[in-house]
Amino acid sequence: MSNKAVETISEATVLFAGDSGDGMQVAGTQFTLATAHAMNDLATLPDFPAEIRAPAGTTYGVSGYQLKFGSTDVRTPGDEVDLLVAMNPAALVVNLERVRIGGTILVNINSFNQKGFKLANIESNPLEDGSLDKYRVISVELTRLTRETLADSDLTRKEIDRSKNMFALGLALWMYSRPIKPAEDWLSTKFEKNEPIKNANLLLLRKGYHFGETTEQFAFRYEVNPADLSPGKYRAIQGITALAMGLVAASQKSGLNIFYGSYPITPASDLLHALSRYKNYGVITMQTEDEIAAIGAAIGASFGGNLGVTGTSGPGLALKTEAANLALIAELPLVIINVMRGGPSTGLPTKTEQSDLLQAMYGRNGDSPLPVIASSTPGDCFETAYEACRIAVKYMTPVILLVDGYLANGAQPWLIPEADSLPDFDVKFAARRKSSENGEDAFLPYLRDEQTQARPWATPGTPGLEHRIGGLEKENISGNVSYEPDNHQLMTDLRAEKVERVKAEHTPLKIFGEDSGDLLIIGWGSTKGSIEAAVAKARNGGLSVGAVHLRFLNPLTDELAEIAARYKKWLVPELNNGQLVKILRDRFLLDMTALNKVQGMPFRASEISEKISEMIG
Amino acid sequence: MPPADKALPKMPPGMKKPAGKRPAEPGSGEPVSLPVIDEGPSKLTRADFTSDQDVRWCPGCGDYVVLATVQRLMPEFDVPKENVVFISGIGCSSRFPYYMKTYGMHSIHGRAPTIATGLKASRPELDVWIVTGDGDSLSIGGNHIIHLMRRNVNLQILMFNNQIYGLTKGQYSPTSEVGKITKSTPFGSIDHPFNPIALVLGAEATFVARTMDRDPKHMREMIIEAHDHPGTGFLEIYQNCNIFNDGAFFEYTEKATKAASTVEIEHGKPLVYDNGNKGLRLDGFRIESIDLTNGKWSVDDCLVYDETNRDLAGIICRVFWSKDLPQPFGVFYREQRETYEETLHNQIESVIKKVGKGTIEELLHAGDTWLVE
């Protein structure tokens, strides 16, 4: 149908930006879905303010959704933007520095007026003062075209103006030859019960698409060929969805019911939302009165033989600290998911950071080690959530799963795993017996498994296993309250040893790049993509660099010592002020270099590249 | 309120029976067909509920009576022993679970309601008890207590009120009277105290009662009532701390003063006290004490208590720290309301009925998918 020229490119980065009420997250998500359908590889970066509807037109109210897609491996949401869709002057001002020189800027010309400039704190019209000379600017009358399209509709002016994101989405889909059907299907389901809104949105989406075809502003459109993905069945997945699915999969494979206790907190609330829809999988979700109640209820459920899970973000993890230690000393399985945001205190609620690692490792009273693992991609959220559940049950311990905020919101194409390929997850409850205490047949709640050091999981309702647990130190084996000095030493050592035994769950580290050489980069969490992009670039430039990415932050793999010994220098990039690097230096006694960024945004690959050059270039 | 005869959803065996349906004892009143007796629970004795741990409360502590009363009562409840769970927080009273030969958890300060809620919500067939104190439940755990009440989780909560912090050796508590001299208030406490009954009534409690440690018979009745209530049974127990707050309730508990300073409230009965010499009547919204001996007033003038009337409970519970009026004991309020866990599991079942039980294949393959060859 297209009569315009098509230019094939290997990758592109698009950023939708507008007011927090402009529907930019929706436009971005739908563009992502269409891109997934076009079988490109992709990575996304939603970036929005903490305010729900910040004053319109202001710079602090700007909400953005960036994605990079391509026919080759896409590891990051893109260092530089090829197309910026700016719904108003503020969105342009805030994001201009991200656009590559020569990139395209599509603006809603109707919002470029004196009022808009004043709100964006600019003196003159950037479209006229030459400040955009280095870019290709496309001015579209988005507001007017939207109103014109919907002139015959019964919608209010406010409703009409709010729909202009669909026009912009339609146009962007056309510009990159994306299919329009996924967005049409989504709108049809979403507004199933509101015919006028549904029809208006569908009409605008198509108008936007056709506008690209007809207007003379576009001489050609782009096309990105399908990526060379491994064969199989795919779906687009967000980190949060993957977490929820990982938990439910763990429930299905183990036969344990999930009990999820949570108190609303950005950006973890979406996990509560997702799990609350899985009722037909027997999932119990409970929105509690506070963070402490959320973990308390999960502990109660675990005591009862369910898989207790609680989710939160940094400040909430701080509140859960005491209860986490109860689960630790009572040796009950529990999964604590921390979707990390900028701190300290309330910090930057909607921005990403990795600054809760030390809190997860050490933020409890007493000597209180527990397994800490981290997800590295949206898809990896599935595997790590499953793994956290499995370890919690197998070793009878709380496990903290750290998820960078931007992974939780970010999306990627995900090769759907076969249910049979998931690791075995068998659960052994202590079996009923005739008498509970005082005698040869006495039940011993702290008699440990030789291999894992885990104590038995004896749940109320089982005859003969009546026993008491709690926060007071217990005598090993018998489980009676004990203040004996030697026993406390023994129990402290046993709790540490139990976490050490989790090393049996480690899989060999995969080295990306050179497996020995001048520089080893050690990363964790969401920085994987940026690190690998930088390593690939450095190797192309002839540098000898390798990278490993850690899923287990505690216990650390012994293998890392042996791998690190094969390199001359070590670099640890983190979205915090230097946390994993402290742990690694302490553990391996190596003079590791830190690369830190705490700006609420992920690393650009170029930032890591620069550091590589500085160290070994 | 649902109709009284509304069939409750099917629950696993051992699930608490609704109030008022305790099996009649053989030989009492009208002939009844004897129920088939399950051999298990009926043979149990107090010893079956007494753990081998040494009880470590101070000699003379009011906690001993509560423990003994509960241990004696347990065999009488129609609940398999393995289904009984005691959960506590921190404080003297919270050592309680260690002395019960049942499942138990001595948890962290103030949080027992959260743990008990998670347990009961996920295992409705269990018979869950919370043991707590005035500091544990009304100070550090204040938030959880009120939310437990509004949710109406089917469990019972024994709140030992001794108006002092015992385990930390004698600081004033949220129920201590103004002016109380303690280690942390050498010039007298300036905090206005909580009225625990008013607090939980305000938090939408469905069962609210008060008893005292020195009246084991009344306590026994109240524990049975709290236990058999299908919902959160809140029982405040005035309990003497003979070390740090000795005699706090002697006015109500000792023979010489008890009759004149307390009134037993019972559903459908007039509020009469002081061995029938005095009564309580309503003057507008105010309670007043009337003399039944001088011919001016009679029992007919006394307020007939209605435990289903929340407003009345609100009025009578305000008799608190009063010199002129007797302290009420008994069931202040009782309401039948669907429990949290019933609603929870009904909702899950209705969703399953509607969309079918989920499988792992459906979970993984839901939504938009595409094939890469």
pLDDT tens track for B51-107? 999 999 999 999 999 999 999 999 999 899 999 999 999 999 999 999 999 999 999
Question: Closest residue of A to B147, CA-based?
Answer: A289
Residue B137: count of CB within 10 angstroms of its CB: 34
pLDDT, residue A49, reads 84
The interface predicted TM-score (ipTM) is: 0.91
B:100-119 residues touching chain A, CB 8 A cutoff: 100-108, 111, 113-119
Return the structure tokens found at B83: 């289904």
Question: Is the Cβ of A303 closer than 8 Å to some Cβ of chain B?
Answer: yes
Sorting pLDDT into bands at 50, 70 and 90, what band is A367?
very high
pLDDT, residue B2, reads 43
* CATH fold for the domain made of A512-616: Rossmann fold (3.40.50)
Q: Is the pLDDT of residue B25 over 60?
A: no
Q: Answer whether A461's CB lies under 8 Å from A450's CB.
A: no
Q: Which of A230, A306, A472 has the CB atom closest to B122's CB atom?
A: A306
pLDDT, residue A439, reads 62
Sorting pLDDT into bands at 50, 70 and 90, what band is A440?
low
Q: Answer whether A238's CB lies under 8 Å from A411's CB.
A: yes
What's the mean pLDDT when you consider all of chain A? Answer: 95
Q: Give CA B254 to chain center in angstroms.
A: 23
Question: Is the Cβ of A279 closer than 8 Å to some Cβ of chain B?
Answer: yes
Q: Answer whether B101's CB lies under 8 Å from A466's CB.
A: yes
| The amino acid at B147 | H
Sorting pLDDT into bands at 50, 70 and 90, what band is B323?
confident
Percent of chain A with pLDDT over 70: 98
User: How wide is the angle at C-alpha B56 spanned by C-alphas B52 and B61, nearest 5°?
Assistant: 125
Burial label, A453 (beta-carbon count in 10 A; 0-12, 13-18, 19+):
buried
**Beta-carbon contacts of residue A402 (< 8 Å; ≥ 6 apart):** A338, A340, A354, A356, A357, A360, A372, A373, A374, A375, A525, A553
Which residue in A184, A254, A280 has the most chain B C-beta atoms within 10 A of its own C-beta, making it the best mutation to test that interface?
A280
Q: Are strands B286-291 and A136-140 parallel, antiparallel or unpaired?
A: unpaired
Q: Is the pLDDT of residue B311 over 90?
A: yes
Q: Answer whether A445's CB lies under 8 Å from A456's CB.
A: yes
- Mean pLDDT calculated for residue range B8-25: 40
- Mean pLDDT calculated for residue range B231-258: 96
Domain residue ranges of chain B, discontinuous segments joined by +: 41-268+327-358
pLDDT, residue A217, reads 85
Sorting pLDDT into bands at 50, 70 and 90, what band is B322?
confident
CATH 3.40.50.970 is the classification of domain B41-268+327-358: yes
Give the DSSP letter string of A166-230.
HHHHHHHHHHTT--SHHHHHHHHHHTTT-HHHHHHHHHHHHHHHHHHHH-TT-SEEEEEPPP-PP
pLDDT, residue A438, reads 59
Percent of chain B with pLDDT over 70: 89
Helices A164-175 and A142-149: crossing angle in degrees, nearest 10, is 110
Contact assignment for B368 to A33 by CB distance below 8 Å: yes
Q: Is the pLDDT of residue A337 over 70?
A: yes
* CATH fold for the domain made of A5-224: Pyruvate-ferredoxin Oxidoreductase; domain 3 (3.40.920)
- Mean pLDDT calculated for residue range A310-314: 98
Return the structure tokens found at B5: 């005869």
- Mean pLDDT calculated for residue range A604-615: 97
Q: Are strands A232-238 and B370-372 parallel, antiparallel or unpaired?
A: antiparallel
Q: Is the pLDDT of residue B192 over 90?
A: yes
- CA atoms of A286 and A144, how far apart (whole Å): 46
Residue A411: count of CB within 10 angstroms of its CB: 29
* CATH fold for the domain made of A235-421: Rossmann fold (3.40.50)
pLDDT, residue A355, reads 98
Domain residue ranges of chain A, discontinuous segments joined by +: 5-224, 235-421, 512-616
Q: Is the pLDDT of residue B35 over 70?
A: no
Q: Answer whether B63's CB lies under 8 Å from B96's CB.
A: yes
Residues of A in contact with B52 (CB under 8 A): 437-438
- CA atoms of B112 and A342, how far apart (whole Å): 32
Sorting pLDDT into bands at 50, 70 and 90, what band is B9?
very low
SS3 of A496-533: the string is HHHHHHHHHHCCCCCCEECCCEEEEEEEEHHHHHHHHH
Q: Which of B90, B122, B365 has the CB atom closest to A284's CB atom?
A: B122
- Could you check whether A235-421 and A512-616 share the same CATH topology? yes
Q: Which of A78-87, A306-315, A378-387, B21-30 has the lowest mean pLDDT?
A: B21-30
pLDDT tens profile A470-514:
999 999 999 999 999 999 999 999 999 999 999 999 999 999 999
- Mean pLDDT calculated for residue range A203-217: 93
Q: Which of B102, B114, B347 has the CB atom closest to A300's CB atom?
A: B114
Give the closest-approach CA distance of B66 to chain A in angstroms: 19
Sorting pLDDT into bands at 50, 70 and 90, what band is A436?
low
Reduced to 3 states (helix: H, G, I; strand: E, B; else coil), residue A515 is coil
pLDDT tens profile A105-142:
999 999 999 999 999 999 999 999 999 999 999 999 99
pLDDT tens profile A541-587:
999 999 999 999 999 999 999 999 999 999 999 999 999 999 999 99
Q: Is the pLDDT of residue A260 over 70?
A: yes
pLDDT, residue B78, reads 87
Q: How many CB pairs under 8 A join A and B?
A: 214
pLDDT, residue B336, reads 97
- Mean pLDDT calculated for residue range B197-207: 98
- CA atoms of A408 and A267, how far apart (whole Å): 8
- Mean pLDDT calculated for residue range A167-191: 95
Contact assignment for A469 to B104 by CB distance below 8 Å: yes
Give the closest-approach CA distance of A458 to chain B in angstroms: 9
What's the mean pLDDT when you consider all of chain B? Answer: 90
Write the DSSP symbol of residue B212: E
Q: How many CA atoms are closer than 13 Å to the CA of A528, on its beta-carbon side?
A: 24
Percent of chain A with pLDDT over 90: 91
